[in-house]
Amino acid sequence: MKIKLAEGRRIRVLVVDDSVVIRRLVSDALGEDPEIEVVGSAANGSIALQRIPQLNPDVLTLDVEMPVMDGLQTLTALRPAYPNMVVIMFSTLTQRGASATMDALTRGANDYVTKASNVGSLDRSMEALRDDLLPKIKQFFLRPGGDRAAAQRVSPAAAPASAPAARTNQIAATAFKPIPGPKRAIALGVSTGGPTALADIFPLFPKDLRVPILMVQHMPPMFTKLLADRLTQISKIKVFEAQEGMPVEAGSAYLAPGDYHLTVRRKGTQVVCALNQGPPENSCRPAVDVLFRSVADVYGGSVVSAILTGMGQDGLRGVEVLKPIGSYVIAQDEPSSVVWGMPGAIARAGLADSVVPLPRVVPEILKHLG
């Protein structure tokens, strides 16, 4: 759910990090944006909690690893008093950092960014922060003029290009119907808010699920392996971080690894996973569109596809391929989405056969497996 801002009001940010260099870097990068106001900084969570009532921030950028009170402890103390404050975690690309970030997401953090390492000059560090952090802050806010205007300000990639938009309208107008009969796979795409959403829905899949699940969650390396392991722990089915050549079997789920596109291909009578590091699509690798096109090539329209919470429109062009050949398409509804970018793009294009709240996603999938 987006937070509405009054006309002319800037987004107030409190930067929390034990590194003086990082605090200055983040403050300078955010301060250059006219829609952001950095209202202060803090060297640890304890100081941040003391300053929140005085500074009244809309957003906390919160380092995972800090002395005195770390990011997880701060988040746990923060949420009861400030349930609607946007919290963006800062994580290192390490096993420890990834694990702590996953914990933070389950405890109520809204999103995360990874600290750039070996990016070289200060200018490049600033550019990396602007490209990654600014869209992740702005995605949670709605300015006068509506969601479409806000989405365009958040990220240029979130706005459909003219040609794909025209193609989508044409597809929607022809009202393709799902093909009857049993489905052979489930295809999922998700981004912002995804780890928590997947943790909510995966326990609902039955242990005798007779089709495989193929999915993309926008995450960097290490994070995807941790997510797959955690989903396996709470589910009745096994969830794998996909590997090159791994057989795709019914009753299992396959998650695209960070920094690799996941596709599927036929190998004799089997379907197997295939990975590549082709160009990012929608600024993403892995990308939902890449997986969905591949799924269409292998399974045709005998697929139930679902787009869940996430920023941007990744998945729209993949659904444009799956929908005309008979896939049943589900979009998560806006109230239950952390960000209604990806599912909203599907719904607005008229490509969703059903738009449902998160708790209804799995029942809807199972209903239409045939």
Q: Where are the domains of the chain?
A: 3-144, 161-367
Note the pLDDT tens digit of each residue in 341-362. Answer: 999 999 999 999 999 999 999 9
Residues 316 and 332: their CA atoms lie apart, in Å, by 13
Residues 225 and 284: their CA atoms lie apart, in Å, by 18
Average pLDDT over residues 108-135: 78
152 — pLDDT class (breaks 50, 70, 90): very low
**What is the CATH topology of the domain spanning 3-144?**
Rossmann fold (3.40.50)
Residue 115, pLDDT > 90, answer no
120 — pLDDT class (breaks 50, 70, 90): low
Strands 11-16 and 36-42: parallel
CA 369 to each of CA 126, 178, 235, 302, 328: distance values in angstroms, whole numbers, following the listed order: 47, 11, 19, 9, 9
Residue 186, pLDDT > 80, answer yes
User: Choosing from 58, 218, 327, 333, which is the catalytic residue?
Assistant: 218
Beta carbons within 10 angstroms of residue 285's beta carbon: 20
Contacts of residue 155, defined as CB under 8 A and 6 or more positions apart, other chains included, come to: 135, 138, 139, 283, 311, 312
Residues 16 and 86: their CA atoms lie apart, in Å, by 13
Q: Tell me the one-letter amino acid at 333.
A: D
Residues 233 and 229: their CA atoms lie apart, in Å, by 6
User: Choosing from 58, 314, 333, 353, which is the catalytic residue?
Assistant: 314
122 — pLDDT class (breaks 50, 70, 90): low
User: Choosing from 91, 191, 302, 305, which is the catalytic residue?
Assistant: 191
Question: Could you say which DSSP state residue 358 is in?
Answer: G
Strand spans (E) along 72-182:
86-91, 111-114, 141-142
Contacts of residue 121, defined as CB under 8 A and 6 or more positions apart, other chains included, come to: none
Note the pLDDT tens digit of each residue in 28-79. Answer: 999 999 999 999 999 999 999 999 999 999 999 999 999 999 999 999 999 9
Residues 136 and 87: their CA atoms lie apart, in Å, by 10
Residue 164, pLDDT > 50, answer no
Phi, psi of 304 (to 5 degrees): -100, 120
Question: Could you say which DSSP state residue 340 is in?
Answer: B
DSSP for 45-102 reads HHHHHHHHHHH--SEEEEESS-SSS-HHHHHHHHTTT-TT-EEEEEE-SSHHHHHHHH
Q: Is 202 exposed, middle or buried (0-12, 13-18, 19+ CB in 10 A)?
A: buried
Residue 208 annotated among the catalytic residues of the structure: no
Residue 314 annotated among the catalytic residues of the structure: yes
Note the pLDDT tens digit of each residue in 197-225. Answer: 999 999 999 999 999 999 999 999 999 99
Residue with tokens 């044409």: 170
Torsion of CA 78, 81, 84, 85, to 10 degrees: -40
- Edge-to-edge strands of the sheet including 185-190? 238-241, 252-255, 213-217, 185-190, 303-307, 328-332, 354-356
Residue 162, pLDDT > 70, answer no
Greatest Cα pair distance in the chain = 65
> CA nearest 13: which of 47, 43, 36, 33?
36
- Tell me which CATH code domain 161-367 carries: 3.40.50.180
Strands 252-255 and 213-217: parallel
Say if residues 213 and 253 touch (Cβ distance below 8 Å): yes
Identify the residue with better confidence: 187 or 1: 187
Note the pLDDT tens digit of each residue in 80-90. Answer: 999 999 999 99
Residue 368 annotated among the catalytic residues of the structure: no
